[in-house]
Structure 1
Amino acid sequence: MAAADLGAAEWERSKITNQDLNLLKKLGITKKPKAVCFPSEESYPTPPMGYRVSFVDHLIRGLSAPIHPFLRGLLYVYGLQLHHLTPNSILHISIFITLCEAFLGVQPNWALWKRIFFCRRNGSANVAYNIGGVVISVRSSVNYFDVKLPDSVQGWRKKWLYIREENHGCAEDNIPPFDGAEKILRRRSWDAEATEEERTSTEALMTRIHELQNTRGKELSGIQITAYFLRTRVQPLQARKNPFWNYAGDEDADRLSTNLEVKDLDRLIRRISSLKKKDSIPSTCRVKPYSAAHALPKPLIKEFLRIGAQFVGYRDYASKTEEKLAEANERADTLALKLEQCEEARKKAESDAIEARQEADKAKADAAGVEDLRKRLHDAETSLSDHITAQSAREAAITKRIKTQSRRFVDRTSQEFELEDPDNDVLLDAVSFLEFHGTEAREGMDEAKAGLSKLFPYFFPKKEEPATFLGLAKCFNPPEDLGLKMRHENMKVAVESTVALVADSQQTIDWAKVGDTEQIEQAKWRSLIKAAKLNTKKILAYLGIKPSSTPSSSRPEV
């Protein structure tokens, strides 16, 4: 039996504690006026205009509005709302975005995500959750960071609130409208694997992840990544002005609050992970993350160093002659101008690259939807083909049955037909043959009914003629011999007529002797019958009866 989907019935009155409120304040989530709106007595979310539904345990794991474009694209491709995701799933996404921006130096990559993660339904054998009904998990075949997630987050579904929807002039940053009763429908995209092209394009990133995990003395862990984004006070799942590789420390524009105290950070990390009191909390990352102070490697820097090395050679030659020095200075000025132009080009290239990556991520998300439509079209074509095959088989079976009935008509009527103008369609031609045989059968039945109707009064003078042909035919096919019965009736009439004639002639006859035919031999009986024929014909003529041509019986019938 399928598990029951709780839907809207799963919601109940929000129960946020003072400890939760203090934590949200320390994290800077409630710093802006009206950034958060807490529900009052309602037991089902009814967010005010401009607000969306969220949870305390989502916010402390890196979620803020407006949401990151990667998160919005993920929700679109998977067909989910924010409340469908568990807190552990939210943390997985936060860690992934931090990994991409701060340690790989790339925008969150959808192809890389598909290589590492998949979605599955969350629930028990009897209940399918709506709140937290989907879990994001690491593929078993992938060697990924041990994030130390707890087995469950107790009571998180009861700690819901409203967060103010904000955007940077782009509708794509918006959180989709809330619908608590919407059922979760599994999509093929939930466990879609990366294509061969995507695997090739992300192989270098997977290699780098492996290096980050396994470089001796510089092993990066999931807890280190988690602690890093919590220390920066930047929410990974928020649409930000700068990626992590441009993080500017205390002056960063995307920070929500000042640094957390060590004890508060320690308590928060233990709350969202499975670490015990005996487990230590990393104070730094073993791998230095990219930031404004630790810039990304730039290919143009190598080119600048190569050009700078050429200047050294020019200065060596300039000491020999003033003319060569002037030439070197002139070339240096030219190169300086080119350097300035290259710097502007580099900045524009970086800006274009960021926009291109964002567009590519969105295009890949859209492509996932197209791939889903293509698969559905293929399934529809397969279903249509199966239907046509089944229909052909059905028509063949019908044709076979019609031909069988036609052969039975031929066996009964000994009448075969040929089509003068066939349709060249097996089924239609078979129907045409059946129509011919049906017409012949109807005409035969009409003739038979007319004949039986004429005979009915003679055989059944005291019965009412049946209205149907079948009833009429059954009357003429009783268990007894109907012809013999009629002959007996005729003989009775003949005997009665003979006796009446004899009585009318006033002759005296011993009828007992006349009726005793058992003593008469066969030969004598035949001669008596033969001698009586002349008088029999006269008597019948006198009675107005025309005798039939049937021969007389060789034995008397009594």
Structure 2
Amino acid sequence: MAAADLGTAEWERSKITNQDINLLKKLGISKKPKAVCFPSEESYPSPPMGYRVSFVDHLIRGLSAPIHPFLRGLLFVYGLQLHHLTPNSILHISIFITLCEAFLGVQPNWALWKRIFFCRRNGSSNVAYNIGGVVISVRSSVNYFDVKLPDSVQGWRKKWLYIQEENHGCAEDNIPPFDGAEKILRRRSWDAEATEEEKASTEALMTRIHELQNTRGKELSGIQITAYFLRARVQPLQARKNPLWNYAGDEDTDRLSTNLEVKDLDRLVRKISSLNKKDPIPSSCRVKPYSATNALPKEGASEATASAQSPPPAVSPKNKRKRNDAEDSGTSKPEEAVPSRQKATYDPYLETLISSDDEEVVPASNVAARTSTSHTLVASETPVEGEETSPPQQNVGAATPPSSPLVPSPKRARIDTIPEPTLQISSSSSPLLDDPMIKELLRIGAQFVGYRDYASKTEEKLAEANERANTLAQKLEQCEEARKKAESDAVQARREADKAKADAAGVEDLRKRLHAAETSLSEHITAQSAREEAITKRLRTQNRRFVNKTSQEFELEDPDNDPLLDAVSFLEFHGTEAREGIDEARTGLSRLFPYFFPKKEEPATFLALAKCFNPPEDLGLKMRHENMKVAVESTVALVADSQQTIDWAKVGNTEQIEQAKWRSLIKAAKLNTKKILAYLGIKPSSTPSSSRPEV
């Protein structure tokens, strides 16, 4: 069961982070204006005019626009687009170009490439990827550098963007327009191997590669090559003014940025390779690369022949090899030649460049039409110009038509032997065949038939070209309408953006005011909380004082579970108790006031009244002294009224009477106290007097 091709299902909205954008700026890839265009919210790539779809992981591995001619040739020969290649494949191409230019001193070599690499399909038995659907791998029979590629690059398909690509005029030199749904079809060029001639021409280069790998003390590795072009700040897959063997250091015109910091270089090398944190990053190459300060040796420059510097063929080779040679070389299938004064056009989506059943289709050789004499006309390798032939034969081969300045010469076709039916020629007809005029007529007829067939094919192709031109005109008209609509949408979007900016400014002002209000409210809440806590503390202090004064502690039946409210409730209980106590005290003090202060007016406030009963002297003792004075005076009056003679000197001389005798006398007088008081008109109180005499 064939694997299902995901097609457009793989594409989703690009998820490029600020860290990726900063990395591209640091590498200088987005330094030029409009060199890189980041997508907005589209979930399927729609590159602007002049842009192609690429990925962040492609750019950090050496890709940059405009694209290097060698990479454009690879894409043409393999029938691929940029998004078909994986990041590891991009790194393989970058290392190969750096190896050729900086360490071998030659241009990127197509023959050498075929000796080392081949293409294979990426995917599983159930799923065939479209994004990164092709992997460039090293042949198992080749001893090549250990690049230490990671097994997988996580999330690279989600980080796509647009890079600006220049128009090179010639179609086969341009990258095909983006088509995310185009299926990847296998071509013979994927497995193309170098011919014996190409192997011989690149044997010296392969020997040099083995020397770079195995020279003791000067071993070169894939990580060293990767770190070299990252340090040099030159993108290997970018079309450059000078090759790397002319690299001029910090002043080189092809540098994209200044030198990277050591930590940034280490982080980038580990990101694109499988090195762990313990593996060291080479600070330099053990083999000094060719540059402006390390020029190419003269013998090395002379060995860089045209065959050793050949890029991938954009069209079929001009030497027109036979079919077997073409199949072995892995180039695209033979095509009909075009006039020399016209440029060959290329459409990457034509059936002539893709193969059905995952293989290229080799067209059959052109066979001329039969003449009236029923002789088969087969195209030969060399044209026959009026050459005499041997006596009559059964198969007569007509020469190919001579090249015309107005029409292109057809390609050399493969010679197939076609069995001819035996002609029944009479003896009289044999001389006719030997007649030079008849031969010339046969040759002219065959040439006419060839021109007629070619003209018919040319008319068909012209009709197809006209139809394609009409289609392109319609598409151009649609593009123009789309452009006008896009401009209108852009103006509307700009207006909406201006309005959004104004609204955003208002929103920002509201946000600031809201923040200020929230801050003020927070401060107010904090102050209120502190105030409530202080009030609660003071209420609790007052309650404790009430409890200490009155020894009366209350319990709430239904507490509010709020410290402030509960403290207020306790205070209310204590306040009620205090008010009742004050009322009772005022009543009692008001009754006692006339006795203690008979000549004063009672104060209006309770505090003044209480102060009257709290003088420095003892009011109770004073009151008793007054009462005793009254009692003495009453006694004196009573004695005087009785007209008895008493020696008051003796009575007042207390020193002559012992204290015990005074007590006995007072005790004896107490029995008659009530009678005496009744006589004086004083009603005694029910409270018994103190038994302690006061002297």
Q: What TM-score, normalized to structure 1?
A: 0.53
**Range that drifts further, 436-445 or 132-141:** 436-445
Q: Deviations over 1:312-341 (max 9, x none)?
A: 999999999999999999999999999999
Report the CA distance between 1:165 and its aligned residue: 1.7
Aligned partner of residue 320 in structure 1, secondary structure: helix
Q: Which has the larger radius of gyration?
A: 2
Q: 2-side partners of 1:187 and 1:522: how far apart?
A: 148
Q: Separation in 1 of the partners of 2:270 and 2:135?
A: 21
Range with greater deviation from structure 2 (224-233 or 171-180): 171-180
1:346–1:453 Cα change, 3 Å: same
Contact kept, 8 Å, 1:110 with 1:364, in 2: the verdict is: no
Larger displacement relative to structure 2 (387-396 or 208-217): 387-396
SS in structure 1 of the partner of residue 457 of structure 2: coil
Moved more, 332-341 or 470-479: 470-479
* 1:295–1:516 distance in 2 versus 1, CA, 3 Å: farther
Q: 1:18 to 1:342 in 2, by over 3 A?
A: closer
Contact 2:246-2:292 at 8 Å conserved across structures: yes
CA contact (8 A) 2:73 2:173 kept: no
* 320-329 or 411-420: bigger deviation: 411-420
Per-residue displacement from partner, 1:414-460 (whole Å, max 9, x unpaired)? 99999999999999999999999999999999999999999999999
1:152 shift after superposition: 0.4
Q: Compute the displacement of 1:174 (Å).
A: 3.6
Shift of the 295–473 alpha-carbon distance from structure 1 to 2, 3 Å rule, reads farther
Distance 1:195 1:394 in 2: 96
1:383 equivalent in alignment to 2:538: no
2:101 partner SS: helix
Deviation at 1:374, TM superposition (A): 73
> What residue number does 2:453 align with?
316
Partner of 1:319, secondary structure, is helix
1:518 Cα offset (Å): 213
1:444–1:5: structure 2 CA closer, same or farther, 3 Å change rule? Answer: farther
1:322-364 alpha-carbon deviations (Å, 9 max, x no partner): 9999999999999999999999999999999999999999999
Query: Which sits farther off after the overlay, 531-540 or 423-432?
Result: 531-540
Shift of 1:478: 167
- In the TM superposition, residue 175 of structure 1 has moved relative to its aligned partner by 2.7
Aligned in 2, Cα 1:353/1:431: closer, same or farther, shift over 3 Å? same
CA displacement 1:213-255 (0-9 Å, x = unmatched): 0001000000000000001110000110000000011111111
Encode CA deviations 1:135-181: one digit per residue, 9 max, x unaligned: 00000000000000000000000000011123677766543211111
What SS does the aligned partner of 2:118 have?
Answer: strand
Contact 2:663 2:693 (8 Å CA) reproduced: no
Change (3 A) 1:213 1:356: farther
CA contact (8 A) 1:522 1:554 kept: no
Check the 8 A contact 1:53/1:163 in 2, yes or no. yes
Cα pair distance change 1:485/1:90, threshold 3 Å: farther
Inter-CA distance 437–422: structure 2 relative to 1 (3 Å threshold): same
How has the CA–CA distance of structure 1 residues 431 and 75 changed in structure 2, closer, same or farther, with 3 Å as cutoff? farther
Tell me how many residue pairs correspond in the alignment: 556
- Structure 1, 303-312 or 111-120: larger mean CA deviation: 303-312
Structure 2 CA distance for partners of 1:278 and 1:106, relative to 1, 3 Å:
same
State which drifts further: 335-344 or 91-100.
335-344
Distance in 2, Cα, partners of 1:435 & 1:293:
100
Q: Once structures 1 and 2 are overlaid, which stretch shifts more, 391-400 or 333-342?
A: 391-400
**Alignment pair present for 1:395 and 2:532:** yes
Residues 248-269 of structure 1: per-residue CA shift (max 9 Å, x gap): 1111111110111110000000
Which deviates more from structure 2 when the two are superposed, residues 102-111 or residues 389-398? 389-398
Instruction: Give the aligned partner of residue 501 of structure 2.
Output: 364
Q: Residue 233 of structure 2 aligns with which residue?
A: 233
Distance 1:397 1:543, change over 3 A: same
Residues 125, 393 of structure 1: CA spacing in aligned structure 2 closer, same or farther, 3 A cutoff? farther
Deviates further, 40-49 or 520-529:
520-529
Does 365-374 or 276-285 show the bigger shift?
365-374
- Partner Cα separation in structure 2 for residue 186 and residue 388 of structure 1: 74
Which is further off, 487-496 or 119-128? Answer: 487-496
Other structure's SS at 2:71 match: helix
Contact 1:189 1:372 in 2 (8 A): no
Q: Secondary structure at the match of 2:672?
A: helix
SS at match of 1:321: helix
Cα distance change on mapping 1:178 and 1:315 into 2, 3 Å: closer
Render the CA deviation track for 1:497-533: whole Å, top value 9, x for unaligned. 9999999999999999999999999999999999999
Q: Could you tell me whether the CA contact under 8 Å between 2:232 and 2:249 is conserved in 1?
A: yes
8 Å CA contact retained: 2:67, 2:165: no
Distance in 1 (CA, whole Å) between partners of 2:441 and 2:480 is 10
Partner Cα distance (1:505, 1:334) in 2: 161
TM-score normalised per structure 2: 0.42
Q: Distance in 2 between matches of 1:207 and 1:372?
A: 72
Deviation of the 1:553 alpha carbon: 194
Q: Using the alignment, how far apart are the partners of 1:557 and 1:457 within structure 2? A: 24
Cα separation, partners in 2 of 1:329 and 1:482, compared to 1, 3 Å: same
Distance 1:147 1:552 in 2: 124
Q: Is the aligned partner of 1:489 residue 2:622?
A: no
Identity of aligned residues (%): 93
Greater helix proportion: 1
| Greater relative CO (CA pairs within 8 A, separation 6+) | 1
Q: Is the 8 A contact 1:28 1:257 kept in 2?
A: yes
Per the TM alignment, residue 51 of structure 1 is displaced from its structure 2 partner at its CA by 1.2
Select between 75-84 and 303-312 the one with higher mean Cα deviation.
303-312
Does 2:636 align with 1:503? no
**Alpha-carbon separation, structure 1, partners of 2:609 and 2:523:** 49
Deviations 1:46-77 (A, max 9, x none): 00112111100000000011111110111111
CA distance in 2, matches of 1:303, 1:360: 80
CA shift in 2, pair 1:381/1:144, >3 Å: farther
- Which range is displaced more, 189-198 or 84-93? 189-198
Residue 482 of structure 1 and its aligned partner are, at CA, apart by: 177
CA contact (8 A) 1:30 1:36 kept: yes
Q: Is the 8 A contact 1:145 1:213 kept in 2?
A: yes
Question: How far has the Cα of 1:35 moved from its partner?
Answer: 1.3
Specify whether residues 396 and 541 from structure 1 end up closer, same or farther in structure 2 by C-alpha distance, changes over 3 A only. same
Q: Is residue 76–residue 172 contact of structure 2 (8 Å, CA) maintained in 1?
A: no
Equivalent-residue separation in structure 2 for 1:482 and 1:26 (angstroms): 101
Q: Is the 8 A contact 1:318 1:324 kept in 2?
A: no
Partner of 1:267: 267
1:309 alignment partner, SS class: helix
| CA contact 2:51–2:164 (8 Å) conserved in 1 | yes
Kindly tell me: are residues 480 and 351 of structure 1, through their superposed partners in 2, closer, same or farther at Cα, counting changes over 3 Å? same
Of 318-327 and 69-78, deviating more is 318-327
Tell me the equivalent position of 2:40. 40
Question: Structure 2: how far apart are the matches of 1:356 and 1:521?
Answer: 126
Query: Is the 8 Å Cα contact of residues 315 and 328 (structure 1) preserved in structure 2?
Result: no
**Structure 2 vs 1, CA of residues 184 and 358 (structure 1 numbering), >3 Å: closer, same or farther?**
farther
Cα 1:21–1:513 change in 2 (3 A) is: closer
Displacement, 1:29?
A: 0.7
Structure 1 residues 471, 250: CA separation in 2 closer, same or farther (over 3 Å shift)?
A: closer
Structure 1 residues not aligned, in runs of 5+: none
**Maintained 8 Å contact 1:74/1:365:** no
Which is worse superposed, 338-347 or 168-177? 338-347
d(CA) in 1 for partners of 2:121, 2:643 = 115
Checking the alignment, whether the CA contact within 8 Å between 1:28 and 1:256 is kept in structure 2 is yes
Q: What per-residue deviation string (whole Å, max 9, x for no partner) do you get for residues 278-313 of structure 1?
A: 0000000000000011000xx999999999999999
Q: Is the 8 A contact 1:228 1:285 kept in 2?
A: yes
43-52 or 456-465, larger mean C-alpha shift: 456-465
Contact kept? 2:64, 2:238, Cα under 8 Å: yes
Deviation at 1:479, TM superposition (A): 168
Alpha-carbon distance in 2 for matches of 1:112, 1:554: 141
Contact 1:111/1:198 (<8 A) preserved: yes
Give the 3 Å change call, closer, same or farther, for CA 39–422 of structure 1 in structure 2. Answer: closer
Higher mean alpha-carbon deviation, 482-491 vs 358-367, is at 482-491
* Aligned structure 1 segments of 4 or more residues deviating by more than 2 angstroms: 166-176, 299-558
Kindly tell me: are residues 508 and 172 of structure 1, through their superposed partners in 2, closer, same or farther at Cα, counting changes over 3 Å? farther
Distance 1:330 1:147, change over 3 A: closer
